[in-house]
């Protein structure tokens, strides 16, 4: 899976134009979010690996800036156990992994964009094994 970091104008219809462009390209958005920071729209959306190239092309054709495309970690937390988010984030921190972006996908899984995917993946895999 890939996280697409997208820059948008803070105007009505800009997010709709982005969604339309991705939809016409057959790209399915699997999770993400958008917000305004310092007068600019910032969005992070999750797409399947095979949708990265079509998404790049569709956004470029629509004049929408793709800031970055990065690999993600996808982790399921146990919703019946309070404190899961803090524990997972603490383990990442202890491994020296900085979480740069965090959101949920449409399957209620946590999506993390981190500065060190290899170290983060090791933490994520250990977390999954301990939770099994």
Tell me the whole-structure pTM to 2 decimals. Answer: 0.92
In angstroms, the Cα distances linking 69 to 1, 51, 59, 127, 130 are 10, 11, 12, 25, 30
CA 35 to mean position of chain CA atoms: 13
pLDDT for the residue 132 = 66
User: What pLDDT is recorded for position 131?
Assistant: 77
Q: Which domains does the chain have, with CATH numbers?
A: 2-71 (3.30.2130.10), 73-131 (3.30.70)
Q: What percent of the chain has pLDDT over 70?
A: 99
Determine the average pLDDT of the residues in 31-59. Answer: 96
Write out pLDDT tens, residues 46-105. Answer: 999 999 999 999 999 999 999 999 999 999 998 888 999 999 999 999 999 999 999 999
Helices 84-94 and 117-131, axial angle in degrees (round to 10): 140
pLDDT computed for residue 8 by the predictor? 96
Mean pLDDT of the chain: 95
38 pLDDT band, cuts 50/70/90, is: very high
Cα–Cα distance measured from residue 114 to residue 75, given in angstroms and rounded to the nearest whole number: 13
Residues 6+ apart with CB under 8 A from 63: none
């Amino acid at each position: 899976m890939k996280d697409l970091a997208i820059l948008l104008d803070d105007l009505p219809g800009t997010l709709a134009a982005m969604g339309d462009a991705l939809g016409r390209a057959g790209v399915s958005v699997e999770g993400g979010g958008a917000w305004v920071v310092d007068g600019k729209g910032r969005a992070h959306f999750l797409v399947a690996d095979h949708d990265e190239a079509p998404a790049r092309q569709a956004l470029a054709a629509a004049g929408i800036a793709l800031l970055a495309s990065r690999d993600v970690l996808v982790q399921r937390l146990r919703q019946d156990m309070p404190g899961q988010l803090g524990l997972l984030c603490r383990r990442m921190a202890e491994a020296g992994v900085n979480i740069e972006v965090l959101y949920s996908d449409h399957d209620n899984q946590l999506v993390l964009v981190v500065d060190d995917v290899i170290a983060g993946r090791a933490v994520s895999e250990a977390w999954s094994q301990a939770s099994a």
